[in-house]
């Protein structure tokens, strides 16, 4: 079937597809207030791909009284046009994602309508800027309401004026109220970007994390050391080389590089849909194996650096200590000392709810995997034990039941869900399956809390679907 020729034609297709699949169309939620102020049904914090995908899924289920907040400026949500230094996504280009499998909403449809089918066929991987453009188009065409430039702060419990559980959310524009909150706050959304303490202790002029904005032009002619051998480490090394660094050294902490991609293995429907329903033993076993391998770099990342003669790769290169000497950073590694002008750490994130302002009133009582499950000694991993242990609806669970029961109304979608559900929100390959699941967890709870009102509605329901001839009935 030929692809639509123009974006305008595609947009007409999207409108028609959304309408053709609009069943069931009946609204079923009633707007609430908290202390007289309007309350949203769902406030989504984070307007990256995860927040927008769940918002779209909610809208499809007629949950329209929602809002997505993002502290970033329009078009600057997530890594794609900010700290992401790859040229293209590592995901296969034909994956479905926030489209939730509606053909006209897929990346491919948008790409073909924007640049033509031949362009799509010639493209190997999706350039990150195009992915960002697609996400912006997606949220416009689906009508997902996003407000940029607003930062959400602490979440506290509240009650709607008719007695249902709700939240007050502090924001940079004043308080908001909502019945449910979805945290879609990205990689560091349930913790913080992390680097070894002795590197963090170096003066800022000597070090950065890959998630920071780095002045690479200032590294021209310098020796740059990068810690980590994941995709981001290689991307940062590549940019430093391209910007004219004298030498760039990537230090991999392990003895061998990670050259297989476990996320490729697990990209099949059974895993993506059902891993979250399996026993703790199996979830831990699979996900600790996957996350224990860490996500490696792809061929393109490697090719991008290896063509430079001033690039070096060091295995068993952990940075065990660091100091500044004669205006340079001296790193202690198992193979001796190494002196660099600048250090970049590609060491990822650490789960730590206490690091998040949104969770200031409940972080301490959010159950982690370490609270709920003790793996066999050979599978132990303290880093992964810090991941939140989520309910089946992707909401937080209490560490000590009864102290903060309201946290069951805060749902999570992002990398923090990985131990509980597999790569649910942290990667595009799972999104078409995981976003509707998270949305269903939210709608389930909205529905459950509305039982008395809905029952009263049912009892009062008197819309006739047939007019009976009462006089004739009486005569018979």
- Positions that interact with ligand FAD (CB under 6 A): 45-51, 69-72, 77-79, 84, 86, 89-91, 151-152, 184-187, 232, 358, 414, 425-429
In the complex, the smallest distance separating the C-beta of residue 276 from ligand FAD, rounded to whole angstroms, is 17
DSSP strand pairing (37-45 vs 32-34): antiparallel
Nearer to ligand FAD, 276 or 425 (CB): 425
In the complex, the smallest distance separating the C-beta of residue 57 from ligand FAD, rounded to whole angstroms, is 14
Give pairs for 5-8: CB < 8 Å, separation 24+: 5/113, 6/113, 7/110, 7/113, 7/114
Nearer to ligand FAD, 170 or 318 (CB): 170
Nearer to ligand FAD, 192 or 440 (CB): 192
Secondary structure of residue 408 in the 3-state scheme:
helix
Please report, to the nearest 10 degrees, the dihedral formed by the alpha carbons of residues 210, 214, 217, 221 taken in order: -60
For 439, the token pair is: 């949305």
In the complex, the smallest distance separating the C-beta of residue 198 from ligand FAD, rounded to whole angstroms, is 24
For 295, the token pair is: 């996500």
In the complex, the smallest distance separating the C-beta of residue 466 from ligand FAD, rounded to whole angstroms, is 49
In the complex, the smallest distance separating the C-beta of residue 165 from ligand FAD, rounded to whole angstroms, is 21
Is 45 within 8 Å of 39 (Cβ atoms)?
A: no
Q: How far apart are CA 274 and CA 303, in angstroms?
A: 36
Nearer to ligand FAD, 164 or 227 (CB): 227
Nearer to ligand FAD, 109 or 426 (CB): 426
Taking Cα atoms as reference points, which of 45, 146, 79 lies closest to residue 428?
79
∠ CA 314-343-330, rounded to 5°: 80
Please, which residues bridge with residue 387 across strands?
none
- The secondary structure element, H or E, covering residue 55 is helix 49-60
In the complex, the smallest distance separating the C-beta of residue 96 from ligand FAD, rounded to whole angstroms, is 12
Taking Cα atoms as reference points, which of 353, 371, 372, 451 lies closest to residue 410?
353
Please report, to the nearest 10 degrees, the dihedral formed by the alpha carbons of residues 32, 33, 39, 40 taken in order: 10
Nearer to ligand FAD, 47 or 317 (CB): 47
For 348, the token pair is: 């990822």
In the complex, the smallest distance separating the C-beta of residue 378 from ligand FAD, rounded to whole angstroms, is 29
- The secondary structure element, H or E, covering residue 350 is strand 349-351
Nearer to ligand FAD, 72 or 239 (CB): 72
Chain-centre distance for alpha carbon 100: 15
In the complex, the smallest distance separating the C-beta of residue 210 from ligand FAD, rounded to whole angstroms, is 7
Nearer to ligand FAD, 4 or 84 (CB): 84
Is 245 within 8 Å of 218 (Cβ atoms)?
A: no
Nearer to ligand FAD, 4 or 416 (CB): 416
In the complex, the smallest distance separating the C-beta of residue 296 from ligand FAD, rounded to whole angstroms, is 13
Taking Cα atoms as reference points, which of 10, 56, 78, 91 lies closest to residue 429?
91
In the complex, the smallest distance separating the C-beta of residue 435 from ligand FAD, rounded to whole angstroms, is 10
Chain-centre distance for alpha carbon 336: 38
Q: How far apart are CA 388 and CA 468, in angstroms?
A: 58
Q: How far apart are CA 143 and CA 152, in angstroms?
A: 22
Nearer to ligand FAD, 89 or 164 (CB): 89
């Amino acid at each position: 079937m030929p692809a639509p020729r123009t974006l305008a034609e595609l947009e007409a297709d999207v409108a028609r597809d959304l309408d053709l699949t609009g069943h069931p169309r009946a609204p079923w939620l009633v707007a609430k207030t908290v202390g007289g102020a309007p309350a949203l049904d769902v406030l989504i914090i984070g307007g990256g791909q995860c927040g927008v995908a769940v918002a779209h899924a909610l809208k499809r289920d007629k949950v329209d009284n929602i809002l997505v907040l993002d502290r970033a400026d329009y078009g600057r949500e997530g890594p794609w046009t900010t700290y992401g230094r790859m040229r293209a996504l590592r995901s296969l280009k034909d994956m479905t994602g926030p489209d939730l499998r509606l053909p006209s909403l897929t990346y491919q449809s948008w790409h073909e309508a924007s640049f033509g089918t031949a362009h799509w066929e010639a493209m190997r991987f999706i350039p990150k800027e195009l992915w960002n453009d697609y996400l912006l188009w997606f949220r416009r065409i689906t009508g997902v309401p996003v407000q940029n430039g607003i930062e959400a702060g602490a979440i506290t419990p509240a009650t709607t004026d008719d007695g249902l559980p709700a939240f007050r959310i502090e924001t940079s524009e004043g308080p908001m109220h909502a019945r449910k909150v979805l945290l879609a706050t990205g990689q560091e959304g349930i913790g913080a970007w992390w680097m070894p303490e002795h590197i963090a202790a170096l003066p800022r002029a000597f070090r950065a994390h890959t998630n920071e904005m780095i002045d690479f032009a200032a590294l021209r002619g310098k020796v740059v050391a990068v810690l980590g051998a994941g995709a981001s480490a290689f991307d940062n090394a590549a940019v430093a080389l391209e910007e004219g660094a004298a030498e760039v050294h990537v230090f991999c902490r392990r003895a061998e590089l990670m050259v297989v991609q476990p996320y490729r293995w697990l990209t099949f429907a059974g895993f993506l849909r059902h891993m979250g329903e399996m026993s703790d033993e199996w979830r831990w076993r699979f996900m600790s194996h996957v996350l224990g391998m860490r996500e490696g770099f792809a061929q393109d990342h490697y090719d991008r650096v290896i063509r430079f003669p001033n690039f070096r790769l060091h295995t068993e290169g952990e940075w065990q200590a660091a100091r500044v000497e004669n205006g340079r950073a001296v790193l202690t590694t198992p193979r001796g000392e190494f002196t660099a002008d600048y250090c970049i750490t590609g060491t990822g994130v650490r789960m730590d709810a206490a690091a998040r302002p949104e969770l200031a009133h409940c972080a301490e009582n959010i159950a982690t995997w370490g609270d709920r499950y003790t793996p066999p000694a050979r599978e132990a991993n303290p880093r992964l034990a810090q991941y939140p242990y989520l309910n089946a609806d992707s909401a937080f669970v209490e560490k000590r039941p009864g102290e903060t029961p309201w946290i069951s109304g805060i749902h999570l979608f992002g990398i923090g869900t990985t131990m509980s559900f597999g790569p649910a929100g942290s990667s595009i390959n799972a999104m078409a399956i995981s976003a509707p699941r998270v949305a269903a967890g939210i709608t389930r709870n909205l529905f459950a809390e509305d039982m008395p009102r809905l029952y009263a509605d049912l009892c009062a329901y008197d819309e006739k679907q047939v007019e009976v001839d009462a006089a004739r009935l009486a005569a018979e």
